[in-house]
Amino acid sequence: MIWAKDQTHTGWGRVLSAKGEIARADDVRTLTANAPAVGNRRSYGDAALNGGGKAIDMTRLDRITAFDRETGLLTVQAGITLGELTRIFAPQGWLPAVMPGTGFATVGGAIAMDVHGKNHHRAGSFCQHVTSITLIQGDKTCEITPKTAAHWKATCGGLGQTGIIAQATLQLIPTKGDMMLVTEQRATDWDHHVALLDASDAPYSVGWIDATATGAALGRGIIEEGETCRGLRPTRRGTKKVPFNAPHWALSGPIVKAFNAAYYRRVPKSGRTVVRTVQDFFFPLDKIHDWNKLYGKRGFHQFQCVVPLDQSHALRDIMQIIASSGLASPLAVLKRMGPGLNGRNAGYMSFPMEGYTLAVDFPNRPAARRLIAHLESATLTAGGRLYLAKDALSTGTAIKSMYPDYPKWAREAAKADPDGALQTDMTRRLDLRISK
């Protein structure tokens, strides 16, 4: 590998950045675990940053190694994206079992963050559909499976700290086709929103929430329920690109409030059913390349928490604080998460847990950072946790309290990477590699 010096890279939120050496790996045989691996850098904060050090760009390792058309077992290199897998396999009747909100996430990144999707209530998290992982540890290669127990649990959602994820075998799920039948309906307030999510038995469900609505309208939004189908493909619309950093006023309070009101009313009171491509349903923002520039040069933060089912009132209080702050952007999502597949294959540091998860974007301002600190405290009090794929502001004390299996993860990471070569800016900021 050839190392390029003085390379500046950022997380998706563009608030935190790092400068160091980066090498693009194009052959698994050249990999040694002397630096952390990075993919398409869709984590928002510093999870994929290594300021002053080295990082290995895995995006050229994107080959499909094996596929069983009868069982749906797929072996791929870690740098291939979930969007590419969807493009290739949906027409053949298969889909990745779990997909996050962007198709630019790589398989390696999806394992390192144990991502979840709109079907967590049924399918659990990403790693619960991974059957084996090839890891580079030092100059050695090993294959781990769920039978590897502690090592497996430290790798799934483990921030890439147990070795470089080079390859994985995934269990795809069958799909009726490469289209989605989507039913949309309005949720008039918080209680209605939660009730609709609770009552949904659709394979995929998600709620967009108007984070600027207050009073009786607090929590209003739109529930989307989807299932795969075959059908006529809608007229293809090209992708768009945000060519420059938007000015600060582009997401000012009045503009966001007006946009949200119009977006809420785009769905008739009686609801509607539409057909979309799988890409439009799972990765709606991917149609706008570099949409993170809409937040301007200062970037943005995304706060995402999950709280237990019996703490929905606490999440309502969090929503009240957000709505009253006047700081929220149009992007706010509420989902109900299930118990997972009885905990099988989920990792020590996996974010998903049974409950309700709320994600809201905030432009990077001092008031927003203070607000997020307050929301973090409320989440901890409610027995919830923050999503490390989105975090850029939390403290190690809070995170360690939120993840009770953290000491187990730290011990396994220390065994696999005793010299700390795979540490990132996030693990250092949160002091995660210390087990006590």
| pLDDT tens digit sequence for 30-46 | 999 999 999 999 999 99
What domains does the chain contain, in order, with CATH numbers?
A: 3-57 (3.30.43), 64-176 (3.30.465.10), 179-399 (3.40.462)
Q: Could you give the angle at the alpha carbon of 346 between the alpha carbons of 344 and 350, nearest 5°?
A: 160
Burial class of residue 98, CB neighbours in 10 A (0-12, 13-18, 19+): buried
Quote the mean pLDDT of the chain: 93
Task: Return the minimum-mean-pLDDT range out of 96-105, 257-266, 387-396, 414-423.
Answer: 257-266
Above 80 in pLDDT, residue 342? no
Place of tokens 């963050």: 113
Those residues with Cβ within 8 angstroms of residue 84's Cβ, 6 or more apart along the chain or in another chain: 62, 103
Q: Is the pTM of this model over 0.85?
A: yes
Distances (CA, A) of 171 to 20, 94, 168, 201, 232: 36, 10, 10, 23, 28
Joined together, the tokens standing for residue 51 give: 């300021």
What was the pLDDT predicted at 243?
A: 65
Residue 149 CB neighbours (<10 A): 11
181: confidence class by pLDDT, cuts 50, 70, 90: very high
Place of tokens 């510093």: 46
What is the rounded CA–CA span in Å between residue 270 and residue 185?
A: 7
Please report, rounded to a whole number, the percentage of residues in the chain having pLDDT higher than 70: 95
What is the rounded CA–CA span in Å between residue 204 and residue 194?
A: 15
